[in-house]
Amino acid sequence: MEILPHDLQEYLDGHCDPEPECLQTINRETYLKVLRPHMLSGHYQGRVLSFLSKMMQPRRILEIGTFTGYATICLAEGLTDDGIIHTIEVNRELEEMLNSHFKLTSVEKKIKLHFGEALNIVPDLEEDNFDVVFIDADKKNNFNYFQLVLNKVRSGGLIIIDNVLWKGKVYGPENDVDTKLIRELNDQISVNKSVEKLILPIRDGLLVIRKK
């Protein structure tokens, strides 16, 4: 789901860097082979994630929610030469596809893939000084993930949470459970004094948080 009008989104897509060939392949395969392919970050959001990562020049990235690896690869583009991205995916059935997708790239050796529940995996990670965290998993746990990673992010580091505009429902009259949870997430983070934050109206909404 994209919040912006289709014509505007097409214009934006046409005026950013082109989608790398390996990501074009992953995009096509995702739409051909995977349920709910709209969960893919896609061209424009992928270039935004890559841009932010390159600005941060991170040594350590944490991603919660790998899906088919599109955003993982975009984030990994900004890693330092000795950088690593730890990415966590709950669905083990995606393992073969993910490994094949990562082999298409120049960043394969910088990706460390974990399978299981992020709430169980993150506390056991030896890393505790992440430069960037990207959260794009089950929405009911978004605030739990935020609380879990906040102390693992360095001062000046970024936490990025996807889907915070929730198909436009968060600023509409809807009151279903998922919409309420996203609203609560946005409201709780908006008053958190330990971070700076803003929502970018990109695709389904990116909440970009900078730890003070």
Quick one: three-class SS letters along 142-185?
HHHHHHHHHCCEEEEEEEEEECCCHHHHHHCCCCCHHHHHHHHH
**pLDDT reported for residue 1:** 64
The model's pLDDT over 143-164, given as tens digits with 9 standing for 90+, comes to 999 999 999 999 999 999 999 9
Please answer whether residues 149 and 122 qualify as being in contact, where contact means their C-beta atoms are separated by less than 8 angstroms.
yes
HSE-up of residue 5 (Cα within 13 Å, Cβ side):
3
The parts of the chain modelled with pLDDT lower than 50 are none
Cα dihedral 195/39/60/184 (nearest 10): 20
For residue 3, what pLDDT is reported?
A: 80
**What is the distance between the alpha carbons of residues 211 and 146, in angstroms, rounded to a whole number?**
11
At the topology level, CATH places domain 6-211 in Rossmann fold (3.40.50)
52-55 contact pairs (CB < 8 A, 24+): 52/78, 52/132, 52/158, 52/160, 52/208, 53/77, 53/78, 53/79, 53/132, 54/78
- Confidence (pLDDT) at 26: 98
Q: Which among 22, 33, 43, 61 has a CA at the least distance from the CA of 152?
A: 61
Note the pLDDT of residue 2: 72
